[in-house]
Amino acid sequence: MSKFKITTTKTSQAPAAIGPYSQACSFGGLTFVSGQLGLVPETGLLVSDDVVDQSHQALLNLKAIASAERLLMTDIVKLTLYLVDLSDFKRVNDVLSQTLLEPYPARATVGVAALPMGAKIEIDAIIANTHG
């Protein structure tokens, strides 16, 4: 039997899950945040059709989930970006460089055919609990 327990996160400060999954699951000092779209938590709708706006909102949603677990954006060890249009890479990279601080997390970017709700970007994360 494992000494670690799996816990889940649920906060109204980020959009509710739109399927059978949790906003995040924590296990063994790591929090795995489900993919965040640029949805406004209060409405459940995309913030706009612009990938920059959606990126900012997805990061705000990720931050809200991290905060619910008393974690910081600087605790992120891995990000995965899912982009419908890889030509948006530079614009999204600019948003990330304005939002994240060094040391930057490891990152992967994946081009996808489509995302739920017509989103242009989805961001998931692995966050380390460095605060005990």
Amino acid in the structure at residue 127: I
Residue 120 lies in a domain: yes
Residue 44 lies in a domain: yes
| Range of the structural domain that residue 117 is part of | 7-128
Residue 20 lies in a domain: yes
Residue-wise pLDDT for 98-110, tens only, equals 999 999 999 999 9
Residue-wise pLDDT for 24-66, tens only, equals 999 999 999 999 999 999 999 999 999 999 999 999 999 999 9
Distance from C-alpha of 50 to C-alpha of 37, rounded to nearest angstrom:
12
Handedness of CA 101, 129, 46, 111 (dihedral sign): positive
Number of domains forming the structure of the chain: 1
Residue 2 lies in a domain: no
| Predicted pLDDT of residue 128 | 97
Rounded to the nearest 5 percent, the helix, strand and coil shares of the chain are: 30, 30, 40
What is the CATH classification number for the domain harbouring 78?
A: 3.30.1330.40
